[in-house]
Amino acid sequence: IDLIAAFYGCLYAGCVPITVRPPHPQNISTTLPTVKMIVEVSHSACVMTTAVICKLLRSKEATATVDIRNWPPVLDTVKSVSPFVSFQMSHNAVGAFCRSVKLQCELYPSREVAICLDPYCGLGFVLWCLCSVYSGHQSILIPPVELETNPALWLLAVSQLRVRDTFCSYSVMELCTKGLGLQTEALKVSMMQNLLPTR
């Protein structure tokens, strides 16, 4: 939700938002240089981030990996997104993309769609931030990173909310099936309880 709010907030303010996947706390030395490269190549005026990521950027491991002193100002906002995936699209391209997804997937206002794709670029970003506004349907957003701690999250959301349509990646399905392999019986009981009529 913060990513979407910040994206539209940038548009409202006349800025060009450039979303980027935040550095991973357990793999800073590999993931932070990519963030640095995108910030530099995009000539970003500032970086908006959560307090957690802001603290991570100032950690000893981060400063040993890249020198952020030459970066634009890093804004520690209360309700923000991780550092803004570098792509720019024209209004015509955005409209055509949303229209094609709407027609192909038959997205109309009464639909509910569960989305478990990385929201930082490509189709995932369009589905998270643009398609539901264009088509008027309700999106249920499930960040893929949260599946690392709760592999049942996507499956339970789809089951409990009785969602007919979902967008997810093969990695999400693989993580769910591997993580839930030992919990099959418990999940069956949980799903049966959700399907039983209530009075």
Per-residue confidence band for 83, with pLDDT thresholds at 50, 70 and 90: very low
Q: What pLDDT, on a 0 to 100 scale, did the predictor assign at position 81?
A: 44
What single DSSP character describes residue 21? Answer: P
Q: Residue 49, Cα to own-chain centre: how many angstroms?
A: 14
Is the pLDDT at 18 greater than 70, yes or no?
yes
Q: How far apart are CA 61 and CA 56, in angstroms?
A: 8
Is the pLDDT at 159 greater than 60, yes or no?
yes
pTM exceeding the 0.75 threshold for the entire prediction = no
Give yes or no for a contact between 119 and 91, defined as CB atoms under 8 angstroms apart.
Answer: no
Average pLDDT over residues 92-115: 84
SS3 state of residue 176: helix
Q: How far apart are CA 59 and CA 53, in angstroms?
A: 10
Is the pLDDT at 87 greater than 80, yes or no?
no
Q: What pLDDT, on a 0 to 100 scale, did the predictor assign at position 115?
A: 92
Ramachandran region, residue 23 (left: φ > 0; alpha: ψ -120 to 50; beta: rest): beta
Give 162-183 pLDDT, tens digit per residue.
Answer: 888 888 888 888 887 777 776 6
Q: How far apart are CA 77 and CA 75, in angstroms?
A: 6
Q: What pLDDT, on a 0 to 100 scale, did the predictor assign at position 170?
A: 84
Each as own residue / partner, the long-range contacts of residues 5-10 (CB below 8 Å, 24 or more positions apart, any chain) are 5/79, 6/48, 6/80, 6/81, 6/84, 7/81, 7/129, 8/129, 10/84
Give 57-74 pLDDT, tens digit per residue.
Answer: 888 888 888 887 788 888
Least confident of 114-118, 127-131, 194-198: 194-198
Q: How far apart are CA 74 and CA 39, in angstroms?
A: 11
Give 180-198 pLDDT, tens digit per residue.
Answer: 776 667 767 766 776 656 5
Q: What pLDDT, on a 0 to 100 scale, did the predictor assign at position 27?
A: 87
CA atoms within 13 A on the CB side of 194: 14
Tokens of 115: 């989305």
